Amino acid sequence: MDNRARVPMLSGEPCDMSTWDAGNCPVRDVMNQIAGKWSTLILQALAEKPYRFGELRRLVPDISQRMLTQTLRDLQRDGYIGREVFPTKPPSVEYRMTELGYSLFEPLSKVLAWAENNHSSVKAARSKFDESELA
Amino acid sequence: MDNRARVPMLSGEPCDMSTWDAGNCPVRDVMNQIAGKWSTLILQALAEKPYRFGELRRLVPDISQRMLTQTLRDLQRDGYIGREVFPTKPPSVEYRMTELGYSLFEPLSKVLAWAENNHSSVKAARSKFDESELA
DNA sequence: AGTGCTAGTCTCTTTTTGAGACCAACAATC
DNA sequence: GATTGTTGGTCTCAAAAAGAGACTAGCACT
């Protein structure tokens, strides 16, 4: 059983981490954003359909307004979602996924699907680990 | 008007966030781990070949020993990587990806590839946003 | 005897996150 | 016509997490 080097690395030079330069590694730069605690949840919601601020807040009950605001602004900054203000009685704000957001969500949803399908394996590994730690 | 949040388009029962139960949403449970700042980087390295602690440290120069230790232990706990101690003169520890780890890395690598291919679009969106913020 | 390597841990400081109060404008209710 | 609720946030303060760097123990080499 040779476990070594089975996964083809990404095209060409993936990310030479040894000669690392701050803004030079796409993986870090992009991932550090979507790797946030709330980002995937919000992207997952907005991939379905546009939502308003309050709706998202109710959708993810345990996010604080502060973090929702910040997560949305960060996702907007990177171009994954758009923000539109409607001048209704109490002004409402709608967030919706952009083309770029959808193109990211396509591969990302595969990871989310993996998470669902393999959740039990992960939980099992976790239990086993914790058990052996206890000793 | 069913306000109850049905989130995603993933196969089967998605993840009803409105009736959220701590350990019940696979997406959150799994993602919160691999979404760490360093997790993807380490997984990416170990997908290539096994590495020792010090090698990983040199590979990712700006990670602290503390965070490397913790990240490795968390990834090991969830079953993505294995840890083997060799009783050499100064004892060495080798980390290598497990089957579960490889199965996760397959979809995950698609996201990493996306990051490489679309990094310029993200940077462009970011510049545009910052510019309009400045006003 | 001194230096360096190994894989960590321990402590301290800085950054990030979370909880919750507060805001102004308007709508419907009492 | 004063009270309450709803909108999408911001502000402050406490708690949690992350980063920096010193310290460890055993052995090898010089």
pLDDT tens digits, one per residue of A6-31:
333 433 344 555 445 545 688 899 99
Q: Specify whether the CB–CB gap between A7 and B102 falls below 8 A.
A: yes
Nearest to A121 by CA among B9, B69, B29, B94: B29
What is the pLDDT at residue B22? 46
| Residue A113 token pair | 């699907």
Mean per-residue pLDDT for B63-73? 96
Report CA(A16)–C1'(C5) in Å, whole number. 25
CB atoms within 10 A of CB B32: 15
A83: which residues sit within 8 A by CB, 6+ positions away? A72, A76, A93, A94, A95
B121: Cβ contacts below 8 Å, ≥ 6 apart? A79, A100
* SS3 category, B93: strand
Residues B48, A5: C-beta atoms closer than 8 Å: yes
Please name the residue ranges forming H helices in A26-64.
26-34, 39-48, 53-59
Q: What is the pTM of this model?
A: 0.86
Question: How much is the CA Rg of chain B, to the nearest whole Å?
Answer: 19
Q: What's the average model confidence in pLDDT over B43-63?
A: 95
Q: Chain A: give the shortest CA distance to residue B87, in Å.
A: 20
Residue percentage of chain A with pLDDT more than 70? 81
3-state secondary structure of A20: coil
pLDDT over threshold 60, residue B42: yes
The vertex-B101 CA angle with B73 and A107, nearest 5°, equals 120
pLDDT at residue B15 in the model: 53
Distance from CA(B89) to C1'(C17), angstroms, rounded: 43
Is there a contact between B76 and B69 (Cβ–Cβ < 8 Å)? no
- Mean local confidence (pLDDT), B77-103: 95
Q: What tokens does B65 get?
A: 């020993």
pLDDT value for B12? 35
Question: Residue B103's pLDDT is what?
Answer: 98
Q: Do A125 and B11 touch (CB under 8 A)?
A: no
Give kind and range of the element (H or E) at residue A11.
none
Q: Which nucleotide is nearest to A52 (CA to C1')?
A: D8
Confidence of residue A90 (pLDDT cuts 50, 70, 90): confident
Find and list the nucleotides of strand C having atoms within 7 Å of a protein beta carbon. 4-11, 17-21, 25-27
Q: Which of residues 23-62 of A touch strand C (CB under 7 A)?
A: 36-38, 62
Residue B115 above 70 pLDDT? yes
Average pLDDT over residues A83-106: 95
Checking if the pLDDT of A91 tops 50, the result is yes
Write the DSSP assignment of B46-90 as a string of letters.
Answer: HHHS-EEHHHHHHHSTTS-HHHHHHHHHHHHHTTSEEEEEE--SS
Q: Cβ contacts of residue B73 below 8 Å, gap of 6+?
A: none
Find and give the residue nearest to D20, measured CA to C1'. Answer: B64
Give all domains of chain A, ordered by start, each with its CATH number: 26-134 (1.10.10.10)
Which residue type is seen at B82?
G
Q: What is the DSSP letter of A60?
A: S
Q: What is the C-alpha separation between B111 and A107, in angstroms, rounded?
A: 5
Contact at CB, B15 and A116, closer than 8 angstroms: yes
Three-class SS state of A13: coil
Residue B54: pLDDT band by 50, 70, 90 thresholds? very high
Q: Which of A6, A28, A30, A48 to mutate to test the interface with B (most CBs of B within 10 A)?
A: A30
Closest residue in B to A18 (Cα–Cα): B59
For chain B, what percentages of helix, strand and coil (3-state, to nearest 5) are there? Answer: 60, 10, 30
Lowest mean pLDDT among A14-18, A35-39, B27-31: A14-18
Please report, for chain A, how many H helices and E strands are present, in that order. Answer: 5, 3
